[in-house]
Amino acid sequence: MSSNHKNIKTLDFVHLSKYFYIFSITLTVLGLIFLAIFGLNYSVDFKAGSNVDMTLTKNLTAEEVTPILEKLEISKDADLTVGDQRMSIRFNEVLNETQDHQLKEEILKLDGGASFEVNTVDPEMAKELARNAIYAVLISCIGIIIYVSIRFEWRFAVAAIVALLHDAFMVVAVFSIFRFEVDLTFIIAVLTIIGYSINDTIVIFDRIRENLRFAKQKTTTDLHELVNHSVSQTIMRSLYTALTVFIAAFFLYLFGGESIKMFSLAMVIGLLFGAYSSIFIASPLWFVLKSKQKNKPAKAS
Amino acid sequence: MKRIIAFITVVVVSTAIMAWTTPDLLKNVRLGLDLKGGFEILYEASPIEGGAKVTRESLLKTAQSLEERANKLGTSEPEVTTEGTERIRLKLAGVTDEAEVRKQMKEPASLTFRSKDGTETDPNQYNKIEMIGTDFAENGAKLEFTQMNEPIVGIKVKSKDKFAEVTKRLLGKPLAIYMNETLISDPVVQAVLTDGTASISVGGDLDKAKELRDQINLGALPLKLTEKYSQSVGATLGKQSLKQTIEAGLIASVLIILFMVAMYRIPGLFAGFALIVHTWLLILVFVWADFTLTLPGVAAFILGIGMAVDANIITNERIREEIRSGKSIMSAVKAGGKHSFRTVMDSNITTIIVAAVMYMFGTGAVKGFALVLIVEIVLSIATNIYFSRFLQNLLIKAGKLSKPKYFGIKESEIREL
């Protein structure tokens, strides 16, 4: 374990970041392609329609339920997912009150112990939710830029924002590529990732700032070393802080309630990308920005 | 010795308070509908007459009337809140018949009194709207009995003049009462009514009279409501989610504490203890402030446990770094605490910024999540920075934490000065 630490700590993060940039850019392009072609697999939270989630006391099959849907004339576009003592049906059209009521009655005839969760969203509401989410992301970013610019400097803010937008987008990309369902809690997850993934970044930036104060950097090489040194000093604590939240998210995903499964999954993915990006994207990016500034006075003198 | 006693007292007393109050606190946490089961509808209100605007007053009145009706339906603690300028969110726990609730909530949307204007194609059709629901005094309709003991419905209008004008014009003609597009009754105007009250005969049917009375009262509801979003969660499903999620949280918490102790030894123990105090305080805040805990809220709760110990990790890593560089325990703890404080605050504040934005823009579940996150981060500053540091300092000053191994450091790792 400790020899492992040493290996990680002696890595040239700035140099390695080239490969990670390539990795991240590839994934981003891939994500964009998937988003453009397939979009996201929206749940009813974003698409007008109804979603009926059932917890059953015995296993029902699609064959048993489909006739009910046909009888109620709601079988068109109905999408059945059958699980162990669970079943969810998604309707692309909003169920009216009578249909909703009759469906429950019929299911209760098959299984008297069934418990339901029915979600219905008007298309207007769905659009509003998505719009608010985008506003929230933008305003959060502006807030972080302002705060980090005041506390650090604008280069840190830019590097931090790139890293956190990267994390958020990676989650969106992974959800698009693997066709995971995007519901309202997904928005919460993405926003939380934006809020939290910056924590790791701040830990490292804080150390860079501190080291800057005590070091004289004349050349880009000095700066290069300072960044590597700062990252290696803080890499373990940055990973540990991410790990504790990861434990929480991971167990929520494994054992938590069904309706926050996708939320937890998004958190797990986001936390992994968050830890990765603060080490391999944010700090090297700051180095790139800073060394551009460094070069000017160097040439002049 | 004094410090040891102080340390033991703090730990024992806080443990005792937590152990004693927790069962009661847990019982008093207000659970959201997604956890206890229930029915939630988001309505958008629009004026019955086109062109008019939804005023704050009418929205509040509508919400109030919805609440009254929900109470009549016998649901426990209906929660009716207005959102923005034209929305009302209705939350009902323990609803058994959703169809009935929806019917009751929506049906009285538009009560109109109409007369014929010549465009009718059917004798039972009345096209000219003379008066609308808002013209009637709220709760003004009453069940009355004639001397013959015949049940009639007494009504009361807001504007006597308007009613007098209408009854004068329609004297001897029918004035039809419509609920939405359904004709309920079409009594003939028997006299010009100038005192703003009238009675409607329904042919001696008591049930019919009661229904008409209720419908007119409900019709005083000023706005039309359209369902925008609805969610219904069965009680068993809610309970199951809560149980599963709390179990997941407990497992995660135990692992996090074990990790902290394995990594940081004695300070890890303090972090674990601070985490327990933190969780207890969070529940306390929820009960005191009467916040509603939803499933995303519980998720935030659990994620927050992972975030709260970040402060301890950053502080302890820093302390270890200082010890390794050859400082004494006392000065390492001091320097480590000082240096890490800024880092911890910076990272917490950025998270709060995002959570606050989420709270501002979010509705329902998003708001609940953001609220828990904000409260949690603020509390974690108190417990996982100040409180755990306070405990640690008591022991250090008492000379009990004098060896680097208590901080998980081998002597060999320490650099000579």
Does A239 reach chain B within 8 Å, measured CB to CB? no
Same domain, B404 and B294: yes
Name the 3-class secondary structure at A83. Answer: strand
Best of B347, B359, B380 to substitute, by most chain A Cβ atoms within 10 angstroms, is B347
CB pairs under 8 A between A and B: 224
Q: How far is B162 from chain A (nearest CA, A)?
A: 38
Q: How far is B41 from chain A (nearest CA, A)?
A: 9
Average pLDDT of the residues in B55-71? 73
* Residue numbers of A between 199 and 218 with CB closer than 8 Å to B: 199, 202-203, 206, 210
Does B358 reach chain A within 8 Å, measured CB to CB? yes
Going from N- to C-terminal start, the domains of chain A cover: 2-43+125-300, 49-121
Domain of B168, CATH number, reads 3.30.1360.200
Structure confidence by residue, pLDDT tens digits, B344-377: 999 899 999 989 998 888 776 788 888 889 999 9
* Residue numbers of B between 154 and 213 with CB closer than 8 Å to A: none
Provide the pLDDT for residue A9.
67
Residues of chain A found within 8 Å of residue B241, distances taken between Cβ atoms? 256-260
Highest mean pLDDT among A93-102, B115-124, B140-149, B285-294: B285-294
Provide the pLDDT for residue A34.
92
Does B2 reach chain A within 8 Å, measured CB to CB? no
Q: Where are the beta strands (DSSP E) in A7-103?
A: 41-42, 49-55, 79-83, 86-91
Does A185 reach chain B within 8 Å, measured CB to CB? yes
Does B283 reach chain A within 8 Å, measured CB to CB? no
Provide the pLDDT for residue A273.
95
What band does B96 get if pLDDT is binned at 50, 70 and 90?
low
Average pLDDT of the residues in A270-299? 83
Q: How far is A200 from chain B (nearest CA, A)?
A: 8
B275 pLDDT higher than 80 = yes
In the predicted model, what is the mean pLDDT of chain A?
Answer: 85
Last residue in a domain, options B231, B255, B286: B231
Tell me how far apart the alpha carbons of residues B386 and B378 are, in angstroms, rounded to a whole number. 12
Same domain, B280 and B383: yes
What band does A301 get if pLDDT is binned at 50, 70 and 90?
very low
Q: Which residue of B has its CA nearest to A202?
A: B347
Does A131 reach chain B within 8 Å, measured CB to CB? no
Contact call for B354 and A194, based on CB within 8 A: yes
Contact call for B228 and A125, based on CB within 8 A: yes
Helix intervals (H) in B170-294: 206-219, 235-289
Q: Which helix (H) or strand (E) holds A2?
A: helix A2-9
Same domain, B113 and B82: no
Same domain, B174 and B313: no
The verdict on pTM exceeding 0.90 is no
Contact call for A55 and B354, based on CB within 8 A: no
Structure confidence by residue, pLDDT tens digits, B317-328: 999 999 988 888
Question: The domain containing residue B170 runs over which residues?
Answer: 109-218
| Residue B122, amino acid | D
Residues of chain A found within 8 Å of residue B251, distances taken between Cβ atoms? 251, 255
Q: Where are the beta strands (DSSP E) in A44-157?
A: 49-55, 79-83, 86-91, 115-121
Provide the pLDDT for residue A30.
93
Residues of chain B found within 8 Å of residue A241, distances taken between Cβ atoms? 309-310, 313-314
CATH code of the domain made up of A49-121: 3.30.70.600
Provide the pLDDT for residue B48.
60
Give which of B220, B177, B221 is closest to B43, Cα–Cα. B221
Does A135 reach chain B within 8 Å, measured CB to CB? yes
* Residue numbers of B between 27 and 46 with CB closer than 8 Å to A: 34, 37, 42
DSSP character at residue A281: I
Q: Which residue of B has its CA nearest to A45?
A: B229
DSSP B37-105: -EEEEEEEEEESSTTPPPPHHHHHHHHHHHHHHHHHTT-EEEEEEEETTTEEEEEEES-S-HHHHHHHH
DSSP character at residue B118: S
Same domain, B298 and B362: yes
Best of A125, A210, A252, A253 to substitute, by most chain B Cβ atoms within 10 angstroms, is A252
Same domain, B143 and B189: yes
ipTM greater than 0.90: no
Same domain, B320 and B401: yes
CA contacts within 13 A on the Cβ side of B333: 21
Tell me how far apart the alpha carbons of residues B362 and B228 are, in angstroms, rounded to a whole number. 16
Tell me how far apart the alpha carbons of residues A50 and A72 are, in angstroms, rounded to a whole number. 15
- Kindly give, in sequence order, each residue whose CB lies less than 8 Å from that of residue B13, ignoring residues fewer than 6 positions away: none
Same domain, B379 and B267: yes
Contact call for A198 and B248, based on CB within 8 A: no
Does B363 reach chain A within 8 Å, measured CB to CB? yes
Question: CA quadruple A124, A125, A130, A135: dihedral positive or negative?
Answer: positive
Provide the pLDDT for residue A247.
96
Provide the pLDDT for residue A6.
53
Nearest to A135 among B347, B361, B365 (CB): B361
Same domain, B282 and B346: yes
On the 0-12 / 13-18 / 19+ scale of CB atoms within 10 A, A100 is: buried
Tell me how far apart the alpha carbons of residues B62 and B66 are, in angstroms, rounded to a whole number. 6
Domain of B78, CATH number, reads 3.30.70.3400
What are the φ and ψ backbone dihedral angles of A138, each rounded to 5 degrees?
-65, -50
Structure confidence by residue, pLDDT tens digits, A41-71: 887 677 777 888 888 888 888 888 888 888 8
A198, A189 in Cβ contact below 8 A? no
Tell me the CA distances in angstroms from A79 to A69, A155, B230, one per residue in order.
11, 49, 19
B291, B366 in Cβ contact below 8 A? no
Tell me how far apart the alpha carbons of residues A197 and B377 are, in angstroms, rounded to a whole number. 15
Tell me how far apart the alpha carbons of residues B340 and A206 are, in angstroms, rounded to a whole number. 9
Q: Which residue of B has its CA nearest to A113?
A: B236
Provide the pLDDT for residue A57.
83
Provide the pLDDT for residue A217.
66
Kindly give the interhelix angle for B235-289 and B2-28, rounded to the nearest 10 degrees. 130
Same domain, B104 and B197: no
A300 pLDDT higher than 50 = no
Same domain, B43 and B29: no
CB count within 10 Å of CB A37 equals 8
Does A3 reach chain B within 8 Å, measured CB to CB? no
B259 pLDDT higher than 60 = yes
Tell me the CA distances in angstroms from A204 to A21, A53, A159, A201, A233, one per residue in order.
18, 44, 12, 5, 8
Q: Which residue of A has its CA nearest to B321?
A: A233
What band does B35 get if pLDDT is binned at 50, 70 and 90?
confident
Does A193 reach chain B within 8 Å, measured CB to CB? no
The domain total for chain B is 3
DSSP B149-193: --EEEEEEBS-HHHHHHHHHHTTTSB-EEEETTEEEE-PBP-S--
Does B307 reach chain A within 8 Å, measured CB to CB? yes
Tell me how far apart the alpha carbons of residues A268 and A263 are, in angstroms, rounded to a whole number. 9
DSSP character at residue B277: H
B145, B209 in Cβ contact below 8 A? no
Does B262 reach chain A within 8 Å, measured CB to CB? no
Last residue in a domain, options B163, B192, B218: B218
What band does B58 get if pLDDT is binned at 50, 70 and 90?
low
Tell me how far apart the alpha carbons of residues B130 and B114 are, in angstroms, rounded to a whole number. 5
Same domain, B351 and B254: yes
CATH code of the domain made up of A2-43+125-300: 1.20.1640.10
Nearest to B303 among A147, A202, A267 (CB): A267
In the predicted model, what is the mean pLDDT of chain B?
Answer: 83
Q: Which residue of B has its CA nearest to A98?
A: B99
Does B247 reach chain A within 8 Å, measured CB to CB? yes
Checking DSSP bridges between strand B30-31 and strand B292-293, what pairing results, if any? parallel
Q: How far is B28 from chain A (nearest CA, A)?
A: 22
A12 pLDDT higher than 80 = yes
DSSP character at residue B34: H
Residues of chain B found within 8 Å of residue A243, distances taken between Cβ atoms? 259
